[in-house]
Amino acid sequence: MKQKGAFFLTVIIVFGLLIVSGCAADKEIIENASYIGSDACISCHQNIANHYDMTTHAKIFTSLDKYPVNWDQNVTIWASAEGEDLQSTKLNLKNSLGVMLDHYVVSKIEGIPGFHRVAALEKTDTGYELHSIDIKDGNEKEWVAKSYSNCADCHSPGLSTKGVGAKRLKAGLSCETCHGPGSVHAQTKKPETIIANQNACITCHTLGKPEQAKDGNFLIADTHYGVRNWFVSDHYTSGYLNCLSCHTPHSANKQGNMLKQDSFKENCATCHGRKEFNQDEIMWKNPTDLRGHFTRDHSFGKLLYEDLGDNPETKEIEITNPEAIKTIKNSSKGGE
């Protein structure tokens, strides 16, 4: 029996080494691949593309022609490079790169590095109105550009992605944003030559690491923070679940949410049966998140909002409760 056990253990170890070495080779193949653009992917995956067009991912950054607005107009934009005084410059909005989440108009400004939010759209009963990002004291003529460079990597990665063939990418999210460059996969049709795991989700959806406050012994998190608490949840620490256990990256349900079921209740029931959950309690939202960022907490009850010690009068989330701070810092991703 001992010999048989030793034999099976040896087989398992060898098999594990083969898997690890295979994964390393596949990673090298993917890293050496080039971008080919979504049209090449759609030639084989048309059905997925049809469903994907209905998701929030597909709408996160869209072209100007989606909006019935007179884009051919010159505006005076006040902008500056980092650390320099504001300078005025003329900008024709028809040359903008696109619109983020039906709101921010994004453009490049000559002589200033990076990308900028240069205007805003507001939905009305008859369409959209175009104006400056912030209207202060009723003065709509002061159009001040705000940096978009920190947002671009996740909200419109096609603008900032580097690599062979990157110019083929759409400005917003496309197939290769999450799956990596697809030239080798397109040639071989082998699943192992393309990225298909939750790491693509984690790259963007767990940003907003809580920072140490400058004027106190507590943490501050911004409006992008909610999903990061996934790492303290029992779902994550069980080792059995990941993002794709509940979410569908290529399609949306009847409510437009990227969930496997048509409601929060039905999604939970897949594993929990008839047990009832209060979504606003176990997946709370930052009460001061005016723009509706994707902030629902994903600790699923491990960190309730009332346990954080937050001041609801401020935009940020202050985490002042020592026990909550300890839980976050001890989580697998809390200190990263």
Position 200 scores a pLDDT of 83
User: Among all chains, which residue has been given the structure tokens 């496997």?
Assistant: 260
Beta bridge pairs of residue 211: 220
**Contact indicator for 131, 77 with CB cutoff of 8 Å:** no
Position 76 scores a pLDDT of 86
Full 3-state SS string of 281-308: HHCCCCCCCCCCCCCCCCCCCCCCHHHC
Q: 201, 177, 220: which is closest to 294 by C-alpha?
A: 201
**Contact indicator for 89, 109 with CB cutoff of 8 Å:** yes
Position 21 scores a pLDDT of 37
**What's the pTM?**
0.78
Range list of H helices, 142-252: 149-155, 157-160, 175-179, 183-188, 199-205, 234-237
Q: Is 168 helix (H, G, I), strand (E, B) or coil?
A: helix
How far is residue 134's CA from residue 137's CA, in Å, rounded to a whole number?
10
Q: Along the chain (336 residues), what's the average pLDDT of each consecutive run of 10 residues?
A: 44 38 51 90 93 90 92 87 80 93 91 90 89 62 80 88 86 91 92 85 81 86 79 92 92 91 93 92 81 79 91 86 90 56
Position 245 scores a pLDDT of 93
Position 291 scores a pLDDT of 64
How far is residue 298's CA from residue 333's CA, in Å, rounded to a whole number?
14
Position 300 scores a pLDDT of 94
Q: Is 217 helix (H, G, I), strand (E, B) or coil?
A: coil
- Joined together, the tokens standing for residue 236 give 């994550």
